[in-house]
Structure 1
Amino acid sequence: MSKVKIYLILLGVMLAWGLNIVALKLLVSYFSPLTMTAVRIFIAGFTIISILFLLKKLQKPQGTEYYAIMASSILGVVLHHGLLAFGLANTTAVKGSIILGFSPLLTAILAIIFGFTQMGWQRFLGFVVGAFGVTMAVMRGGEGITGIAFGDILVFLSILSQAFSFLIISKVSKTLNPVVLTGYMMLSGSLVLLLLASIIEPAQFMTFTTAPLSIIAVLLVSAIVATAIGHVTYNYAISKIGAAETAIFGNFNTLFSLMATAILLKESVGINQIIGCLLIIFGVLTGTGTLEAFIRRKAQLNR
């Protein structure tokens, strides 16, 4: 599959994840974030594994792949989602969104440090511009950022653990089908989260029996479409173009979530958000090398 097709697919994933932000805002008004996350990821993992089993494509891990699945599950599912749930509960929405927006840049830095990718200064600048664009996009007039809260540290640790999981996925997906890997990751990780939720907040599971059917439907769509299909596709992209190049599309998550909240939740969009979104687009075009390739191709045609 060509890079252009992978880029288009990733845009579709980011659109689904952007819309999922609206769904999650609705879901956390009915359920506890930790319990809801555990149930949502379990549904996603169970769905992937069930489909693979029915299609007889459930690949058995070999050798060190077991350890890679365990590591990526702990880092990318348990720690990432667990720390994120508690972190966002102990910081402001603005600061949480800004920290999350630095995930692509952090992934790129780790990929360079550990030798997973090589990157020129132009492309790295794209990651920096994209991160700055996210910062501007989530800032609203009158909302200041002061001090470092405990929740901020937890949110940062959540994206750090996720970044490491992306590197593991990038390596192990060369031998293990990324769809199978995603299913194993989510199912095993969700079982740990369900155990944690049952210990920390056991009474919260009863809320699923009293929630309206429309809310349960939103939960199922979020789990199957955004979480299951979205992460399968994202991890497939990692296996094809690498963790760093895939991660930069995460900036579009902010762009699409802003559009979704503006249209569906009627939230206002200011000049900061517009400028931030333009910087995000520029950052992605630069970070993926698309802008550089376009300029080089145009220069060759003009010779």
Structure 2
Amino acid sequence: MKISPKTAALLTLLATFFWGSNFQATRVAISTVQPWSASAERFLIAVIAIFIYMSFKKLVTYNALKKNIVAFIFLGAIGVAGFNGALFVGLQTSSPVTAALIMATTPISANLLEAIISKKMPQLIRLLGMLVSLFGVSMVISNGEVVTGGTLNFSYGDIIIFVGSLGWSVYTVGTRAMVTDSTPLETTAWTMFFGALLLTAIAFMYEQPFSSLAAATMASHLAGLYMGIAGSVLAYLFWVIGISIRGPGKTSVFFNFVPLFAILVQIMSGTVPGIIQIIGSIITIFGVLLGQGQLSGLLKKQVLV
């Protein structure tokens, strides 16, 4: 099925919503399950679901795996196990506000990495859009401290989270630069497969997954199921589709919507944001549209009229 760039953009936006909602789902999941075990459960569910779907559609082939096994293992370790593991470990000493701000730098690092690989600098309008959206996200997650002159203290966990954000940048760029003759579905499935294996191994090294999962409540398991299907399979698949059609640079800008959707889920839970969060959200959306070239297209239409 042919997917248009506009449809790919909408799928990318939906992926960021699933990731944004994962924050609330994670709180439910780890309320009665140890963190590494909960993370392993999430991606094992995701792997089982995606391979059942591929088997039903007779899409399971090993050609892509044979050609890209090293890339799949690397990207699974970096973009699945590494990214999620760094976030978990880092949050032990880092604050959620600082962690979200660090993660918001991912589009910039992804675009810079793509520029280095392609030996071509991003367009000025895209860089400007990234900076504007990053500033908007900074306002949202710091409650305006970046404007009032407040300081953010960085801990050892902040460094780990920053390394995790770099890992996600590598995954974003690597799924196109390192993988050949593989559909977005195959890339998603195999990178998740190897990432889930690594997460499971880590869970057995540091926790007791069987006893932890056996003692968990139904709510925790349902949260893990949601994260496995929507927050993992669909989110990663839609993200890879966006990368394959629109490129890593244009796709990575959408990552700034993740904290905004996280706030939206909190609003649905009864927590209403303040004026600073609202203004920051507007700035972020403006920056994303600017970086995508949507505003320049509207301006040209206005000039022609």
Q: Is the 8 A contact 2:87 2:161 kept in 1?
A: yes
Pairwise mapping of residues 1-303 of structure 1 onto structure 2 (< 5 A)?
1-60=3-62, 61=64, 64-115=67-118, 118-140=121-143, 145-172=151-178, 175-202=181-208, 204-264=209-269, 266-299=270-303, 301-302=304-305
**What is the total number of aligned residue pairs between the two structures?**
299
Shift of 1:16: 2.2
Q: Following TM superposition, by how much is the alpha carbon of 1:280 offset from its aligned partner in structure 2, in angstroms?
A: 0.8
CA distance, structure 2, for counterparts of residue 190 and residue 94 of structure 1: 27
Write the letter of the residue equivalent to 1:124. Answer: L
Equivalent residue letter for 1:224: I
Instruction: In structure 2, give the amino acid aligned to 1:111.
Output: E
Structure 2 gap segments, 5+ residues each: none
Report if aligned partners of 2:176, 2:243 keep a CA contact under 8 Å in 1: yes
CA RMSD of aligned residues (A): 2.0
* Identical columns (%): 26
How far off its partner does 1:173 sit?
5.0
In 1, distance between residues paired with 2:100 and 2:175? 24
5+ unaligned residues in a row in structure 1: which ranges? none
Deviation at 1:254, TM superposition (A): 1.4
Whether the aligned pair in 2 keeps the contact of 1:139 and 1:272 (CA below 8 Å) is no
Call closer, same or farther: CA 1:146–1:123 in 2, change over 3 Å.
closer
Query: Matches of 1:114 and 1:246 in 2, distance apart?
Result: 16
The two structures have a TM-score, normalised by structure 2, of 0.91
- Deviation digits for residues 143-202 of structure 1 (CA, Å, limit 9, x no counterpart): 964432110000000010111111110234552011111111111111111111111122
Which secondary structure does the structure 2 equivalent of 1:114 belong to? helix
- Deviations along 1:238-264, one digit per CA (max 9) or x if unpaired, are 111111111111111111111111221
How far apart in 1 are the matches of 2:167 and 2:18? 23
Distance 1:7 1:121 in 2: 21
In 1, distance between residues paired with 2:181 and 2:78? 20
**C-alpha distance 251-83 of structure 1, shift in aligned 2 (>3 A):** same
